[in-house]
Structures are given as C-alpha cells and as structure tokens.
Amino acid sequence: MNRIAKTLASFLVGCAAFGLVGGISTAQAAKVELKLGHIQSESDFWHLGSLKFKEELEKRSNGEITLKIYPNSTLGGDRDLVEGMQMGTVDFGLIAGVLGNFEKSIGLLELPYLFDSQEEFNKVIHGAIGEEIAGRLVKKSGIRILNWWDRGPRETTSNKPINKLEDLKGLKIRLPEIPAMVASWRAMGANPTPMAWSEVYTGLQQNVIEAQENPIPFIYGGRINEVQKYIAMTDHKYEYVTIAMSEMRWKKLNDAQRQIIVEAANAATAYENQLVLDKTNELLAEMQSKGLQVTHPDKKELAVAARSVHEEFAKTVDLDLFKRIMQTLGR
C-alpha cells in the first residue's frame, strides 16, 4: 500500500471512530424530520392532538424523529394534503371524508344518518370493515391510515332556525367535496354547495352561503358562531378524522421507526378522543353565552329523507360492502 493509500485508509478509520461519514455525523444522518399538515386553527382539538403526536414521536424516538406541524391549510386543503402524501412532499395529514375521492368505499361512511350513534360508528370503523377500507385505501392511493380520531356528531349552523325537514328546503349549505353528503343533503331538500373549509367563514360573512355543518369543536375553532345565529342539533353524521401517512415515506423507514410512529399515533388518538369527550359541551355552552341559539329538529324525518338515497348511492360505490355495514348494525 503506497503512502497516499495508507493516509486515506487512516482517515476513513478515524472517521468511523468518530461517527463521521461525508462530513456529517451518523447521528445526524439517522435523524428523520417529518411534516404534518391539517386545515384547522391552532385552537382546535386537531392541532392539540397533533402536538401530542409530535411530543410522543420525539419522546419515544429520543429525538431521532422530529415533527413539524403546519395548521391553517398552510400546506393546502384536504385534497392538496392527500396529493402531497402521494407525492411524498407531505408525511402526515389529518384527513376526513375527502379520502372518499381516492378510495370510493370510504364514501359509504360519509352518508348522513348512516349511523344512529357514536357506538354504531365505532362498531363498524374499528372492526373488520374498517380494516378492509383502510387496506383498500393504502393499496389504491398510497395513503396509510394510522388511526381514526373522534370528532363528535356533525351539527348544522344557519342564520334561520331549523326545526323540521321543511326548514332545509332550498337552504344553500356549504358541504365538503364529498359526493355522499351532497346526495343526502339534496334528498333532504337543501341546496348543497361544496367549498373549501378555508373559504367558509368569509362565504358566510358575505352571504355566499347560508349554512354549514360540522362537529361542535370544528365550529368553535372556525369561529362560525361569529357569522351564524343558530345551531341545529342534527347529529346527522358521527364524525372522524384520520391521522394518515404517506406510504412512500412509510416504506423508507425501518421497523423500529414504524413501531414508534404507530405507538405515537395511538397515544395521540386516545388523547384527542378524550378531549372531544370532555370538552365538546363546554364549547357549545361558550358559544351559546355569546348568542348562538340551539334548536332540536326532528331527526327522524331528516333521517328518512337522507336514507332514501343511500342504497342508490351505494350502488355507485360498493353495494356488497354497504349491505355488510347494514348487517353489522343489525338492520
């Protein structure tokens, strides 16, 4: 070995001894920096759940995995976040029904009045059907559902009181870009208007739309009570948001890192679900104290109208899966 070769060999041995390769430490090289985006404000439970996920990730990995959170649609709306995960530019997203545009079977979960209670929803989503839907999604779209967060039932806000089905006639209501919801609200007599969440406050303020529907924490976080007078307790959909991950990123991680992510997601899920359970009524009471008026419409007549299109919609998605959901619910 000539003198130059010996010098190079000694240098590489020294680098190995000090954990240096190519001028950076192996500790730095092993560090995984991840991004999570969502559409809600920093005051919303989604963001608090995201902070818990970050805390758990970084604690369980001893700082090897770090997470940066982008709230307020900073990385785009729901569809943008999903597409970002597909391309690998976004690692995690808190995504709800828009996933139905990427895997049709999720659309069945978006049918208003499909479920009569949170317990019915949980029975389906945390059972074999939920696992099947998640499996279809990751295979078809490259989006991995780590867990499902509770959001509570969706309620309807408006500038006129809603007490019966007739009050929905012609109501220009903002909906997410979810076909199942559009079909059912149209069956209830409303005039559905799909719109990005980031545009809803201004849309209500300028009377572009007359109403919107969301879980109470979402309504509170979006300050919807500032631009709406009434909230109807329609309980038309028992709501979730998925903590979802880019399969492209998942495949780049080792088994230990994947396990940490799963455990951190489970811990964040338990935390967020408890927040929803403990705080939803408090948030409603606070909005009432600021002038929001509550009505209690006849949910049975609303449900009959909404369910009139369920089976026809299911035929466009997966009628067999819809029938299995009904069997699971004992209907």
Q: Look at the pTM and tell me if it is higher than 0.85.
A: no
User: Is-contact 120 238, C-beta < 8 A?
Assistant: yes
**Percent of the chain clearing pLDDT 70 (strictly above):** 91
pLDDT tens by residue, 228-269: 999 999 999 998 999 999 999 999 999 999 999 999 999 999
Picking from 199, 12, 192, 231, the residue whose alpha carbon sits closest to that of residue 110 is: 192
pLDDT at position 237: 96
pLDDT at position 178: 84
Name residue 212's beta-bridge partners: 157, 174
Tell me the range of 27-36, 96-105, 122-131 where mean pLDDT is highest. 122-131
In angstroms, rounded to a whole number, what is the distance separating the alpha carbons of residues 14 and 8? 10
Higher pLDDT pick, 285 / 221: 285
pLDDT at position 9: 45
pLDDT at position 265: 98
- Whether residue 182 is predicted with pLDDT greater than 50 in this model: the reply is yes
Measured in whole angstroms, the distance separating CA 247 from the mean position of its chain's CA atoms is: 17
In angstroms, rounded to a whole number, what is the distance separating the alpha carbons of residues 55 and 207? 41
pLDDT at position 22: 35
- Whether residue 274 is predicted with pLDDT greater than 90 in this model: the reply is yes
- Identify the band that residue 28 occupies on the pLDDT scale cut at 50, 70 and 90: very low
- Whether residue 45 is predicted with pLDDT greater than 80 in this model: the reply is yes
Its CATH architecture, for the domain 21-328, is 3-Layer(aba) Sandwich (3.40)
Cβ atoms within 10 Å of 46's Cβ, excluding its own:
26
Residues 123, 127, 131, 133, CA torsion sign: negative
Q: DSSP string spanning 245-295?
A: EEHHHHHHS-HHHHHHHHHHHHHHHHHHHHHHHHHHHHHHHHHHHTTPEEE
pLDDT at position 20: 39
- Identify the band that residue 30 occupies on the pLDDT scale cut at 50, 70 and 90: confident
pLDDT tens by residue, 50-108: 999 999 999 999 999 999 999 999 999 999 999 999 999 999 999 988 898 899 999 99
- Whether residue 6 is predicted with pLDDT greater than 90 in this model: the reply is no
pLDDT at position 183: 95
Residue for token pair 């999903």: 82
In angstroms, rounded to a whole number, what is the distance separating the alpha carbons of residues 131 and 269? 17
pLDDT at position 23: 35
- Identify the band that residue 15 occupies on the pLDDT scale cut at 50, 70 and 90: very low
- Whether residue 307 is predicted with pLDDT greater than 60 in this model: the reply is yes
- Whether residue 29 is predicted with pLDDT greater than 50 in this model: the reply is no
Residues 216, 218, 222, 227, CA torsion sign: negative
Picking from 222, 218, 172, the residue whose alpha carbon sits closest to that of residue 193 is: 172
- Whether residue 4 is predicted with pLDDT greater than 50 in this model: the reply is no
Number of helices (H), then strands (E), belonging to the chain: the values are 14, 12
pLDDT at position 303: 97
In angstroms, rounded to a whole number, what is the distance separating the alpha carbons of residues 63 and 298? 52
Contacts of 4 (CB under 8 A, 6+ apart): none
Domain ranges of the chain: 21-328
- Whether residue 18 is predicted with pLDDT greater than 70 in this model: the reply is no
